[in-house]
């Protein structure tokens, strides 16, 4: 629109911000995007991508060991942590270049520096001011650390991806997906891992059978799990290691645990500090997230937000979907609200988790009567590998109309399998549809279409 420098000014060049900017520019809008760091955001540079590369690297230890059961005699293997980090960094540099090229080819102007809102239509970056008809906040989230003595000695997931050396002993504090993923990575690479969880088990909010199964399997792999435990303080001791004073669970661990490093994964907070949001009237909730309506507009007309900065559903594909909906609303003449039903998600733990839909507990609260089907079995691979690892699969079915409202899995390839099941749930598939589907044999995935024994209702 005439009178403004840009039709859209995006703050934050992560997955959501880049997608919205590119789509809007492709529809003829004049678009700028500001980024204080490298282009790509949390997922590409500090989250999903580098983390999964480390998961893949760490799993080779089990692959080498399991190969003996299949007739292989592997030679002596050694692991080089700096080589892995170097290879990971090279890939991130490549992806950063890809994102820069995508923005340039789309006609989006990249503005480098920390952005701050001056008013509802003005953004200041590195001393320069830019005006825009619409402003999009897509600054994501950032690891949150509690205020305890010695917390400055702790690592977050950001630093864990760039450690100069592999620790011998590591404490992981937290029970969410980031915590269990890093615990699995370092444990598989030979690090002695103790994981401390404030609650009663891992993965609060997930289906109870997922939580119990994963905790059991991680324990089998040698991860020491301390539930009902909080860290009171962290201190450096004479030999250079860290001493963690604990509260709760002390009958198990004594009064302190000594490790080489401590990784905190106790949550992330929306990255809204220093943006000048309150000064221009943008409403934030108690967690510091931007409050938006169904169409991602903030309390100030013309200012919008997508992704983790809104603290709705903090997943990269969700941020991308929100961005697409926003561009349809603003530049395509098609007001579109994001659909948050049946969003599949994965935890790249070891073994991995895949889930879509409602947990059993949530389904019972929402629908009352539900049918539950659960299968636990030893995967075919481990009949020869000899590894003591079990797979768990679960279906949650709404009893009155037999619609499948939850699919949950812990085991190899769970994320790949559940992605396909998400389509079925989104389409409204019933248990009869699952039963009528012929499985692919021999696969683990076929178990989802062969479960026939409904569990008895709980007392």
Instruction: Enumerate the active-site residues.
Output: 441
Q: Which residues contact 272 (CB under 8 A, 6 or more apart)?
A: 137, 139, 284, 288, 289, 290, 309
SS3 category, 272: coil
Angle between helices 208-220 and 360-367 (to 10 degrees): 170
> Among 237, 256, 148, which Cα is nearest to 196's?
256
C-alpha angle 89-90-95 in degrees, rounded to nearest 5: 95
Place of tokens 């409602």: 358
Q: What angle do CA 266, 270, 275 make, to 5 degrees?
A: 140
Residue 57 CA to residue 210 CA, distance in Å, equals 24
**Cβ neighbours of residue 160 under 8 Å, at least 6 residues apart?**
182, 263
Element (H, E) at 243: strand 242-247
Cα separation, 163 vs 66, in Å, equals: 28
Look up residue 213 and give its two tokens.
Answer: 């199964």
Question: Rounded to whole angstroms, how far apart are CA atoms 170 and 122?
Answer: 46
Distances (CA, A) of 431 to 205, 236, 270, 394, 448: 24, 56, 39, 12, 10
Give phi and psi for 104, each to the nearest 5.
-65, -45
CA distance 137 to 338: 17
Q: Which of 420, 403, 416, 407 is nearest to 373 (CA)?
A: 407
For 56-117, the DSSP string reads HHHHHHHHHHHHGGGT---------HHHHHHHHHHHHHHHHHHHHHHHHHHTPEEEES-EEE
What are the backbone angles phi and psi of residue 303, rounded to the nearest 5°? -110, 125
């Amino acid at each position: 629109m005439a009178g403004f420098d840009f039709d859209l000014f995006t703050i934050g060049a992560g997955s959501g911000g880049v997608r919205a900017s590119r789509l809007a520019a492709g529809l003829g809008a004049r678009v700028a995007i500001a980024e204080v760091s490298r282009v790509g955001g949390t997922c590409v540079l500090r989250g999903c991508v580098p983390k999964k590369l480390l998961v893949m690297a760490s799993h080779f230890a089990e692959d080498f060991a399991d190969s003996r059961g299949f007739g292989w005699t592997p030679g002596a293997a050694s692991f080089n942590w700096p080589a892995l980090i170097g290879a990971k960094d090279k890939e991130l540099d490549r992806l950063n270049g890809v994102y820069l090229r995508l923005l340039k080819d789309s006609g989006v102007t990249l503005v480098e520096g920390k952005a701050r809102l001056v008013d509802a239509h003005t953004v200041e970056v590195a001393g320069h001011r830019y005006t825009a008809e619409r402003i999009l906040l897509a600054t994501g989230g950032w690891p949150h650390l509690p205020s305890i003595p010695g917390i400055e000695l702790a690592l977050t997931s950001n630093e864990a991806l760039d450690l100069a050396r592999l620790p011998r002993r590591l404490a992981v504090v937290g029970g969410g997906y980031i915590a269990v993923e890093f615990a699995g990575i370092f444990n598989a690479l030979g690090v002695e891992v103790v994981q401390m969880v404030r609650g009663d088990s891992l993965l609060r909010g997930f289906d109870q059978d997922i939580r119990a199964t994963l905790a059991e399997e991680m324990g089998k792999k040698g991860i020491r799990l301390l539930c009902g435990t909080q860290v009171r303080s962290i201190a450096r001791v004479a030999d250079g290691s860290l001493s963690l004073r604990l509260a709760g669970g002390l009958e198990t661990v004594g009064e302190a645990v000594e490790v080489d490093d401590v990784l905190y994964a106790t949550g992330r907070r929306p990255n809204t500090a220093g943006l000048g949001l309150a000064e221009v009237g943008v409403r934030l909730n108690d967690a510091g997230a931007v409050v938006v309506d169904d169409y991602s507009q903030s309390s100030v007309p013309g200012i919008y937000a997508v992704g983790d900065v809104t603290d709705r559903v903090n997943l990269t594909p969700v941020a991308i979907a929100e961005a697409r909906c926003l561009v349809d609303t603003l530049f395509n003449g098609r007001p579109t609200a994001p659909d948050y039903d049946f969003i599949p998600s994965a935890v790249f733990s070891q073994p991995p988790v895949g889930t879509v839909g409602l947990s059993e507990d949530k389904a019972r609260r929402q629908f009352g009567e539900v049918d539950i089907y659960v299968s636990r079995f030893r995967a075919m691979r481990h009949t020869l590998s000899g590894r003591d690892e079990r797979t768990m699969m679960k279906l949650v079915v709404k009893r009155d109309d037999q619609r499948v409202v939850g699919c949950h899995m812990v085991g190899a390839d769970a994320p790949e399998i559940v992605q396909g099941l998400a389509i079925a749930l989104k389409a409204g598939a019933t248990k009869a549809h699952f039963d009528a589907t012929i499985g692919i044999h021999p696969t683990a995935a076929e178990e989802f279409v062969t479960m026939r024994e409904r569990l008895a209702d709980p007392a």
